[in-house]
Structure 1
Amino acid sequence: MPIVFDLECRSAQHRFEGWFKSSDDYARQQERGLLACPQCGSAEVFKAVQAPRLGRKGNQRSESAAGPLPAKIPSSPPSADLPAPPPVELPPQAVEVLQKLAVMQAEALKSSRFVGDSFVEDARAMHYGERDSESIHGRATPEQAKELIEEGIAVAPLPFPIVPPEKAN
């Protein structure tokens, strides 16, 4: 069962979640400089203060009896069906490139509007002149993205997952 930590970068106090196999896994990644803020790319990341996750009492109804609870979608959830990959030691240059890429994405998103599931519809409307062009980002399936590209509409995946505004703390 993975552990979810609330993390924060020291430079801008951006808060985000991190999923780890264990507390030791978090410590190893931090020591190796593998943790970076997804918003600004800062490598100065630490555990933020968070409320403890307590198990339910025996007299409380189970989730199945009460109905499912709303799930908080992590930025990169681990797959329950696949074993976790072995830790990989990245060279410092690769860590630096990833951090710079995260900063570039964060800067690009500042001038882009999140449109969520209407991304495909909005991209087509702008391409065909049905609405004013602007920089947008949102969700599309691989099949939808392929269709857009085949229509001559330029799209590109974001290198790092983002938290939609409505899901952000």
Structure 2
Amino acid sequence: MIRYDLSCKDGHRFDGWFASSAAFETQRDQGQVNCAICGSAEVDRALMSPGVAAKSNRAASGPGTARSKTPLEQLRDHVEANSDYVGLRFADEARAMHDGRSDKRAIHGEAKPEEARKLIEEGVPIAPLPFIPKRKAN
């Protein structure tokens, strides 16, 4: 996975995760990459510095060495440990918190693209996750 700093035509900055550079370009060219702030499909990569791990942060290798989690796995763990999974009720829950009908809390879940676009248009602060949430059984 590659994380890119992105910028829309209005100068809004946000990030996105993609399988490869080619995957980003394909999705962007098909209008599938939208600004997380205004919803614009006129998005491109912004100038960013490379992320190089310090020598002391690199995982040791060899027999018996545990594999370090990737940044994406670490992000998933953080999101799942620090927010409530609301599943397909994400749009309704986010809107209710934004409108003051429900207590504000960190949530994650799933929304159809048109639901997400409407939330953005309404000013509800949301951001896409670079992974599909693990489904939790009731």
* TM-score for both structures, normalised by structure 2: 0.47
